[in-house]
């Protein structure tokens, strides 16, 4: 993927689609086009604006940070701006990393950046801030409640200045940071003052360890973590065993895009990921609890963490959680390039589930971090999922926001990954796939065979992935795993309202027959940001309806198999999508709430509950029996 040759055909067709500076209606329609699909935020438009030098000769201005010593791995940093002569509503602070990055005028022409879906026509900051906040977040700032006299004449104060303080949630992103005080708002920023740079106490610290399964035995687990250190480290586990890490990384040159049309990932969104370590813990027992720590004597060790191995394929009982489209959100009042507002509460609720010991594994089926070319956001995402992903297997599928980019071989020609083209995703989440950029795999846990595909790679009949799906589904031993769950990112059935058609009829036409022919029980997709469940459906026809059990819950009888049951579960963080008023009869349940789905599979039954994250209420419940 080192060179993603962006062909002229793509370039011209893309520009034809998006570039018409004279047309304001195009801006609206482009925003609509990208709603829910591509990163746009108020904050992102910073990159489109001309940055003037502020004509501010204020000699009293200072930007001070609460931690002037080295930063810990996670802290809330208070940034105080003092010496302000005239506080304005448009003043704001950006967190920049590494320090001294160029956040002034960028020489590139703005139309090179149309690919991110923003048709603004102005130049940009050359290096994107990690996050930013308006000074008005401090209510005392505009009112100048914190006054200071800077100059006295004959005992009378003749110059009074104001100050304000903001708090930023800072995690160890290895590179040093500084805080930059801007005037002019996000739309027309200019730099007033930069703070002194501040470094992390240990930029090499091993952090953000997360687990995944490498096979269906439940006896091996892979731990993947991030460190600023490129030497091998160790995972020490199960009271005396150890595994040595494989170390990898990716560089700016690995990102997609071209010099002609740089992507966010290869240009203003780049942030050095440090080194990604993976080590496999072996000789474990399935469904068992152990502890581990990771790191090395020279760079430090994580704390001791308890984790659970999943049940072995063929055993009886599995409890897992699944969802799509989670992303992350700031834990302070900052704006970031892309925020998924439901993610924090969904993660909090799932962390409580994992802490209760009732979760064997987790499946996150695409649209993982929404870093989309703003790479520092992967660190924040890994930090967010750490409470669950460090304790149980966190399995993933690839989504459009990890993979798609023009000219990169993705099925859908969109710039949704911001130029990451799956490189960052595959490095952070090394699944037991068929190979590099072949992110499809199967895994068995207890009574369930999971077939996980990429909707972003060719699934047409005859393609490598299609043949693999056919072979994988065809080879399931139902005596060992009575249930087959098929998962990917883009749905086959959705009643989402308006916007782009979320369902690709070609995908349905090619792949749905494989599901029916191989008696797939349940199909899970994301991409659409709500919860929806179907009847037993094939080619949009209900082949069977569930019946009510004694408690009034829908029960599908798969001992008399008719067709797969499909569910969209993309409601874990991204702003929710509304449903259409006119729904087809295959759509049985529709919920527009943030949450996750809880599964309990035995050999006779899968019970499914959609949990609303803020209240933990069950908003839908159904069973499939055999």
Binding residues for Fe ion, per CB under 5 A? 367, 399-400, 527
CB of 400 to Fe ion, least distance (A): 4
125: DSSP letter: B
Q: Are 623 and 554 in contact (CB under 8 A)?
A: yes
Please identify, using beta-carbon distances, which residue of 456 and 593 lies nearer to Fe ion: 456
CB of 533 to Fe ion, least distance (A): 19
Please identify, using beta-carbon distances, which residue of 527 and 598 lies nearer to Fe ion: 527
Dihedral, CA atoms, 117, 123, 129, 135, nearest 10 degrees? -110
SS3 (DSSP) at 57: coil
Rounded Cα distance, 338 and 39, in Å: 6
Please identify, using beta-carbon distances, which residue of 345 and 397 lies nearer to Fe ion: 397
The CA-to-CA distance between both ends of the chain, in Å, stands at: 45
- In 428-586, the DSSP E strands lie at 441-445, 448-452, 483-487, 522-525, 531-538, 541-544, 547-548, 554-557, 565-569
Rounded Cα distance, 56 and 66, in Å: 25
Tokens of 251: 């560089």
Strand-pair partners of 234? 244, 295
User: 595-601 and 234-237: which strand pairing?
Assistant: unpaired
CB of 34 to Fe ion, least distance (A): 12
Going by C-alpha positions, the residue among 185, 178, 12 that lies closest to residue 101 is: 178
Please identify, using beta-carbon distances, which residue of 325 and 353 lies nearer to Fe ion: 325
Rounded Cα distance, 405 and 410, in Å: 7
CB of 240 to Fe ion, least distance (A): 43
Q: Are 556 and 534 in contact (CB under 8 A)?
A: no
Rounded Cα distance, 336 and 41, in Å: 8
Rounded Cα distance, 326 and 616, in Å: 17
Helix and strand counts by DSSP (H, E) for the chain: 9, 33
Please identify, using beta-carbon distances, which residue of 341 and 357 lies nearer to Fe ion: 341
Please identify, using beta-carbon distances, which residue of 277 and 489 lies nearer to Fe ion: 489
Please identify, using beta-carbon distances, which residue of 308 and 527 lies nearer to Fe ion: 527
CB of 42 to Fe ion, least distance (A): 21
Q: Residue 462: what are its φ and ψ, rounded to 5°?
A: 95, -15
CB of 58 to Fe ion, least distance (A): 46
Element (H, E) at 469: helix 464-474
CB of 597 to Fe ion, least distance (A): 17
Q: Are 539 and 515 in contact (CB under 8 A)?
A: no
Please identify, using beta-carbon distances, which residue of 400 and 451 lies nearer to Fe ion: 400
113: DSSP letter: G
Please identify, using beta-carbon distances, which residue of 39 and 347 lies nearer to Fe ion: 39
Q: 513-539: b or e for each residue (b if 16 or more CB lie within 10 Å)?
A: ebbbebebbbbbbbbbbbbbbbbbbbe
Please identify, using beta-carbon distances, which residue of 328 and 527 lies nearer to Fe ion: 527
Q: Residue 335: what are its φ and ψ, rounded to 5°?
A: -95, 145
CB of 293 to Fe ion, least distance (A): 35
CB of 491 to Fe ion, least distance (A): 10
Please identify, using beta-carbon distances, which residue of 168 and 525 lies nearer to Fe ion: 525
Rounded Cα distance, 547 and 94, in Å: 56
Please identify, using beta-carbon distances, which residue of 490 and 626 lies nearer to Fe ion: 490
Please identify, using beta-carbon distances, which residue of 48 and 527 lies nearer to Fe ion: 527
Rounded Cα distance, 224 and 207, in Å: 9
Dmax (CA) of the chain: 96
Residue nearest Fe ion, Cβ-based: 527
CB of 383 to Fe ion, least distance (A): 22
Rounded Cα distance, 571 and 551, in Å: 26
Please identify, using beta-carbon distances, which residue of 399 and 595 lies nearer to Fe ion: 399
Tokens of 596: 């996750």
Q: Are 567 and 322 in contact (CB under 8 A)?
A: no
CB of 217 to Fe ion, least distance (A): 32
Element (H, E) at 136: none
286: DSSP letter: T
CB of 306 to Fe ion, least distance (A): 33
Rounded Cα distance, 93 and 165, in Å: 10
CB of 381 to Fe ion, least distance (A): 15
Please identify, using beta-carbon distances, which residue of 352 and 500 lies nearer to Fe ion: 500
CB of 484 to Fe ion, least distance (A): 24
Going by C-alpha positions, the residue among 328, 211, 209 that lies closest to residue 276 is: 209
Strand-pair partners of 79? 65, 166
CB of 264 to Fe ion, least distance (A): 17
Rounded Cα distance, 433 and 582, in Å: 39
Element (H, E) at 474: helix 464-474
Please identify, using beta-carbon distances, which residue of 101 and 494 lies nearer to Fe ion: 494
Q: Are 456 and 420 in contact (CB under 8 A)?
A: no
CB of 339 to Fe ion, least distance (A): 16
């Amino acid at each position: 993927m080192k060179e993603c040759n962006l062909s002229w055909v793509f370039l011209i067709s893309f520009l034809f689609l998006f570039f018409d500076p004279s047309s304001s209606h195009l801006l609206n329609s482009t925003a609509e086009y990208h709603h829910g699909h591509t990163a746009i935020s108020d904050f992102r438009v910073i990159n489109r604006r001309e940055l003037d030098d502020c004509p501010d000769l204020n000699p009293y201005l200072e930007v001070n940070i609460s931690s002037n010593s080295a930063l810990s791995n996670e802290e809330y940093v208070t940034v105080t701006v003092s010496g302000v002569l005239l506080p304005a509503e448009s003043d704001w602070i950006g967190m920049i990393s590494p320090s001294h990055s160029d956040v002034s005028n960028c020489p590139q022409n703005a139309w090179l950046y149309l690919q991110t879906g923003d048709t603004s026509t102005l130049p940009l900051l050359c290096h994107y801030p990690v996050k930013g906040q308006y000074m008005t977040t401090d209510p005392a700032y505009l009112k100048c409640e914190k006054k200071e006299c800077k100059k006295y004449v004959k005992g009378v104060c003749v110059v009074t200045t104001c100050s304000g303080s903001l708090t930023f949630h800072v995690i160890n992103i290895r590179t040093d940071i500084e805080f930059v005080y801007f005037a002019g708002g996000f739309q027309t920023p200019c730099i007033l003052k930069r703070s002194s740079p501040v470094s992390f106490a240990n930029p090499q610290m091993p952090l953000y360890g997360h687990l995944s399964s490498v096979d269906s035995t439940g006896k091996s687990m892979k731990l993947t973590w991030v460190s600023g250190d490129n030497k091998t480290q160790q995972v020490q586990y199960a009271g005396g065993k150890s595994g040595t890490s494989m170390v990898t990384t990716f560089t700016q040159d690995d990102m997609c895009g071209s010099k002609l049309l740089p992507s966010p990932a290869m240009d203003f969104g780049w942030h050095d990921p440090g080194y990604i370590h993976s080590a496999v813990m072996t000789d474990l027992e399935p469904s068992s609890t152990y502890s581990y720590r990771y790191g090395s004597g020279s760079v430090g060790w994580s704390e001791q963490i308890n984790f659970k191995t999943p049940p072995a394929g063929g055993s009886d009982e599995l409890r897992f959680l699944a969802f799509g489209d989670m992303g992350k959100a700031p834990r302070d009042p900052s704006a970031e390039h892309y925020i998924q507002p439901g993610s924090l509460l969904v993660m909090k609720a799932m962390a409580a589930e994992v802490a209760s010991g009732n979760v064997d594994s987790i499946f996150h089926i695409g649209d993982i971090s929404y870093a989309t070319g703003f790479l520092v956001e992967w660190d924040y995402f890994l930090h967010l999922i750490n409470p669950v992903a460090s304790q149980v297997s966190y399995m993933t599928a690839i989504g459009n926001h990890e993979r798609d980019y023009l000219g990169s071989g993705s099925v859908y020609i969109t710039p949704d990954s911001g130029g990451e083209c799956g490189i960052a995703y595959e490095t952070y989440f090394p699944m037991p796939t068929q190979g590099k950029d072949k992110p499809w795999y199967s895994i068995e846990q207890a009574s369930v065979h999971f077939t996980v595909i990429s909707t972003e790679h060719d699934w047409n009949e005859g393609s490598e992935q299609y043949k693999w799906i056919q072979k994988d589904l065809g080879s399931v031993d139902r005596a060992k795993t009575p249930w087959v769950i098929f998962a990917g990112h883009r749905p086959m059935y959705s009643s989402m309202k308006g916007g782009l058609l979320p369902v690709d009829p070609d995908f349905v036409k090619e792949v749905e027959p494989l599901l029916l022919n191989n008696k797939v029980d349940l199909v899970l997709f994301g991409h659409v940001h709500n919860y929806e469940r179907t009847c037993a459906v094939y080619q949009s026809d209900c082949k069977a309806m569930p019946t009510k059990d004694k408690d009034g819950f829908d029960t599908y009888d798969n001992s008399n198999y008719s067709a797969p049951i499909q569910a969209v579960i993309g409601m874990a963080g991204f702003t929710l999508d509304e449903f259409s008023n006119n729904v087809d009869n295959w759509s049985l349940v529709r919920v527009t709430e943030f949450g996750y789905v809880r599964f309990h599979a035995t050999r006779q039954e899968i019970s499914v509950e959609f949990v609303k994250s803020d209240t933990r209420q069950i908003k839908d419940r159904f069973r499939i029996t055999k």
